[in-house]
């Protein structure tokens, strides 16, 4: 990796993630955050204000602008719904919600700066976002040290809610989605029990933390269920040719191939497999969930399954209502995972504020940690005190007639 990294840094300063600068910036922020906390405690300044001030950190520019714009649209929709109904009832008073949307460009340093700004300048009581783990992990460190409540809608990396020093769960950081490890487990039992696969192969992007985690957990869970692995092959981000790995996999004749890969790589791998005469079903994870996959992969992906956070065609009334409203507000755009999860993050937060009956961060945080049964668009969620990771189910989608179709619910 280091050769490749140094070369592409030299050549174009592009997809290589330059880790040192953000880490350095982030460390200096940690020091500042530590200092400022001793000088003045900013966490509960909005205790008895007339509005509820909530911050949003979204990836509006940078590599994944569609994630940020989805998240912002869902946040505005959630807040407008409450305000149009006269506000949120908190301890007998109707309070309006005021939203502060900031851009972190999906960058670690900018996410840290934005979180700092929301805490110190905007005096928010809670922050929803960032969505990408790249931004969410450093932002979460600052939120925790400033005692600021943070809910990330979409960051599935375990490190977001874990304290980097103690490896304990952070007290003030929550998320609205499940973790990478959960998907690996769900897919392994789906392959073994529902698809009756005896032998499974895995091909995954080893340079992507989330995908690597999914592959490892899938392998362990599949073997635990008396399945056999027929190939465990890797590639790195940016590879275009998987023929050699797929030829190796083919020689071991698996019943199924798990492909935790981002949606741009999926069609290449699947089409190359078909050209090699390797015609077994593929399984995917939430990294597949982009409508671009359907356009890029076409008929080759027909009939394949993958896990997602929610399904727009789900029969559940709550999901349907959300999808219809979102489409009406956004020129018919179907809400994606990020939109649904951001909406649920607001749902969780507003529910907690209502139950707390107060608007100071500490009370809201305690109410949120004691959420026992929140019915969200992406399923039912609860928190267990001591962990910011929700207990919730996943959905399994199937690609059928060029569309994502709901196939099954998978509960923990």
Partner 1 sequence: MAYFLQQFINVLQTGSTYSLIALGYTMVYGVLSMINFAHGDIFMVGAFLFFLFVSTLKLPFVPSMLAATVLTALLGVATERFAYRPLRGAPKMSAVITALGVGVLLEHLTLAINPYPRHIPAMFEGSGTWSAGGVVISQLKAAIIVFSLLMMALLDFTINKTKLGMAIRAISWDMSVVPLMGVSVNGVIAATFAIGAGLGGIAGVLYSLAYPVINPYMGVMVGWKAFISAVIGGIGNVRGAIVGGYVLGLVETLTIVFLPATYRDVTAFSLLLILLVYRPYGLMGKPKTFKV
Q: Which residues bind partner 1 (CB under 8 A)?
A: 1, 3-4, 7-8, 11-12, 14-15, 206, 233-236, 238-241, 243-245, 247-248, 250-251, 264-265, 267-268, 271, 275-277, 295-296, 298
- Residue number, 1 or 317, with CB nearest to partner 1: 1
Using an 8 Å Cβ cutoff, are 365 and 337 in contact? Answer: no
- Residue number, 174 or 263, with CB nearest to partner 1: 263
Using an 8 Å Cβ cutoff, are 130 and 57 in contact? Answer: yes
User: Are β-strands 305-308 and 374-376 bridged in parallel, bridged antiparallel, or unpaired?
Assistant: unpaired
Report the alpha-carbon distance of residue 56 to residue 293 in Å, rounded.
28
Q: Which tokens hold the place of 356?
A: 């707390």
Give residue for tokens 């007998």: 92
- Cis amide prior to 130 (ω within 30 degrees): yes
| Nearest approach, Cβ of residue 19 and partner 1 (Å) | 18
| Nearest approach, Cβ of residue 11 and partner 1 (Å) | 6
Q: What is the CA radius of gyration of the chain?
A: 22
| Nearest approach, Cβ of residue 173 and partner 1 (Å) | 32
- Residue number, 27 or 295, with CB nearest to partner 1: 295
- Residue number, 1 or 315, with CB nearest to partner 1: 1
Q: Which tokens hold the place of 231?
A: 């190939």
Alpha helices, DSSP H only, in 357-395?
361-369
Report the alpha-carbon distance of residue 201 to residue 320 in Å, rounded.
36
| Nearest approach, Cβ of residue 18 and partner 1 (Å) | 15
| Nearest approach, Cβ of residue 335 and partner 1 (Å) | 20
Q: Which tokens hold the place of 174?
A: 């929550």
3-class SS of residue 388? coil
| Nearest approach, Cβ of residue 38 and partner 1 (Å) | 45
- Residue number, 14 or 196, with CB nearest to partner 1: 14
């Amino acid at each position: 990796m280091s050769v490749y990294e140094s070369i592409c840094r030299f050549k174009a300063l592009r997809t290589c993630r330059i880790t040192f600068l953000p880490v350095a910036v982030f460390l200096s922020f940690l020091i500042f955050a530590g200092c400022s906390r001793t000088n003045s405690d900013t966490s509960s300044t909005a205790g008895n204000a007339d509005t509820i001030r909530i911050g949003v950190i979204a990836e509006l520019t940078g590599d994944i602008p569609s994630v940020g714009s989805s998240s912002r649209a869902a946040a505005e929709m959630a807040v407008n719904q409450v305000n149009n109904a006269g506000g949120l009832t908190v301890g007998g008073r109707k309070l309006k919600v005021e939203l502060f949307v900031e851009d972190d460009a999906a960058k670690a340093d900018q996410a840290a700066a934005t979180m700092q700004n929301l805490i110190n300048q905007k005096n928010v009581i809670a922050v929803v976002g960032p969505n990408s783990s790249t931004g969410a992990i450093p932002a979460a460190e600052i939120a925790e040290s400033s005692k600021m409540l943070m809910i990330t809608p979409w960051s599935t990396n375990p490190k977001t809610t874990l304290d980097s020093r103690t490896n304990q769960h952070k007290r003030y950081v929550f998320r609205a989605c499940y973790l990478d490890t959960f998907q690996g487990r769900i897919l392994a039992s789906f392959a073994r029990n529902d698809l009756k696969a005896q032998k499974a192969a895995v091909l995954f992007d080893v340079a992507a933390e989330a995908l690597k985690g999914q592959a490892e957990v899938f392998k362990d869970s599949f073997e635990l269920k008396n399945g056999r692995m027929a190939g465990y092959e890797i590639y790195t981000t940016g590879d275009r040719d998987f023929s050699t790995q797929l030829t190796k996999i083919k020689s071991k004749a698996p019943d199924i191939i798990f492909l935790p890969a981002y949606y741009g790589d999926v069609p290449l791998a699947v089409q190359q497999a078909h050209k090699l005469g390797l015609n077994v079903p593929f399984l995917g994870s939430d990294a597949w969930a982009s409508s671009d996959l359907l356009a890029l992969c076409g008929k080759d992906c027909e009939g394949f399954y993958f896990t997602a956070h929610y399904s727009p065609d789900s029969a559940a009334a709550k999901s349907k209502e959300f999808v219809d409203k979102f489409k009406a507000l956004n020129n018919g755009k179907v809400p994606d995972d990020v939109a649904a999860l951001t909406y649920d993050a607001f749902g969780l937060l507003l529910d907690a504020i209502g139950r707390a009956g107060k608007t100071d961060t500490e009370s809201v945080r305690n109410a949120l940690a004691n959420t026992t049964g929140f019915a969200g668009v992406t399923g039912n969620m609860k928190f267990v005190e001591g962990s910011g990771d929700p207990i919730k189910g996943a959905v399994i989608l199937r690609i059928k007639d060029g569309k994502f179709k709901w196939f099954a619910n998978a509960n923990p």
